[in-house]
Amino acid sequence: MIKVEGLTRKYGDFTAVDDVSFECQPGRVTGFLGPNGAGKTTTMRVMVGLTPATHGRVTIGGHLYKDIPNPGRHVGVLLDASAQHAGRTGREVLTLGAMTMGLDLSRVDEMLELVSLDAKEARRRVRNYSLGMRQRLGIAHALLGDPSVLILDEPANGLDPAGIRWMRGLLKGYAERGGTVLLSSHLLHEVEIIADEMILIGRGRIVARGDKKSLLAHAGKAATLVTALDNDELGRVPKDRGFAVSGVGQGLRVETEPVEVGRAAADHAIVLTDLRSAEEGLEDLFLELTSDSQRDDLTPGSAA
């Protein structure tokens, strides 16, 4: 549905986006992931025609954004929740949107209810909104025209954990009904739970893509966190099988798949109280792939 083809955007000598190509499918949530300044926002701005591409192009459903009549009815956009007039009320922001798109004003109340902004909050000026409330308002604005494509830049930014869970459910449901969702984040854990597919970008280039499983398969090293009634006994078993073991918190960390640890424990009739994947493979991969563009120097292995 969204098709990015060989997109490059240069600012003078600086290349913000460098030959990026990817597609977002309907019925799926695509996560666009990368550290700050990796080119996510620039890519999304080109998508909706706010920034011209230096090379390449982006089409949505086969059309350039600028060629879509009344685009708010087809593509819901939230690029910056703070880009609203501080002196307008939340309700007025949505009313202007609904008027522009030619919608029935009852849509405003529907959207306010959908994002859980109550009547009193809707009458307050955006100046007095928390970032989380602005994000809710922004999501309401994006959904106003009942679009079939959503483009959201850092929508979870500023939402509290309950808000993030709410948004996750909202976007999942939206995609299940056939919608296309592209959302960006610089936080891996925000995206990995919700996204069916992830695009990792660093320094303007795509460094990896795929669903969580296939990305982890590439990451290679799996690790397990395990706790048993008798940790000492448990520790000896994987060691005998050639897996590195180290003590972490109340339990142990074993450098292999959970299934191997579980099997070893079963063979020796050891009672486990906790067994799970360390799941930092993806985070390691993320940091490693985008390390060129990280602002902070992370010495290899320091995350382990």
Q: Which is nearer to another protein, 103 or 223 (CB)?
A: 103
- Interface region with another protein, contact rule CB under 8 A, candidates 25-33, 198-206, 229-237, 293-301: 25-33
- Closest by CA to 3, choosing from 76, 56, 82, is 56
Least distance in Å: CB of 166 to another protein? 23
3-state class (DSSP) for residue 15: strand
CA pair distance 183, 141, nearest whole angstrom: 15
Contact status: 124 vs another protein (CB under 8 A): no
Q: Which is nearer to another protein, 75 or 265 (CB)?
A: 75
Considering only residues 46-105, where is the footprint of another protein by CB under 8 A?
48-51, 60-63, 65-66, 68-74, 77, 79-80, 82-88, 92, 96-97, 99-102
CB nearer to another protein: give 28 or 223: 28
Residues 207-266 that bind another protein (CB under 8 A): none
Q: Under the criterion CB under 8 A, does residue 141 sit at the interface with another protein?
A: yes
Identify residues 154-183 at the interface with another protein (CB under 8 A): 178
Number of residues near another protein (by CB under 8 A):
45
Neighbouring residues of 89: CB distance < 8 A, sequence distance ≥ 6 = 122, 123, 124, 125, 126
Residue (100 or 273) nearer to another protein, CB: 100
Per rule CB under 8 A, is residue 131 in the interface with another protein? Answer: no
The answer to whether the beta carbons of residues 197 and 28 sit under 8 Å apart is yes
Is 149 a binding residue for another protein by CB under 8 A? The answer is: yes
Given the rule CB under 8 A, which of 21-29, 219-227, 237-245, 280-288 is the region that contacts another protein? Answer: 21-29
> Dihedral (C-alpha) 137, 140, 144, 150: value to the nearest 10 degrees?
120
Enumerate the β-bridge partners of residue 274: 227
Nearest distance in Å: CB 97, another protein: 7
HEC string of 34-101 equals: CCCCCCHHHHHHHHCCCCCCCEEEEEECCECHHHCCCHHHCEEEECCCCCCCCCCEHHHHHHHHHHHH
DSSP state of 281: H
Smallest distance, Å, CB 74 to another protein? 5
Nearer to another protein, 27 or 262 (CB): 27
Amino acid at residue number 147: P
CA dist 132 and 47 (Å) reads 25
**Encoding tokens for residue 196?**
């069916």
Q: What residues line the site for another protein (CB under 8 A)? A: 1, 25-28, 45, 48-51, 60-63, 65-66, 68-74, 77, 79-80, 82-88, 92, 96-97, 99-102, 141, 148-149, 178, 196
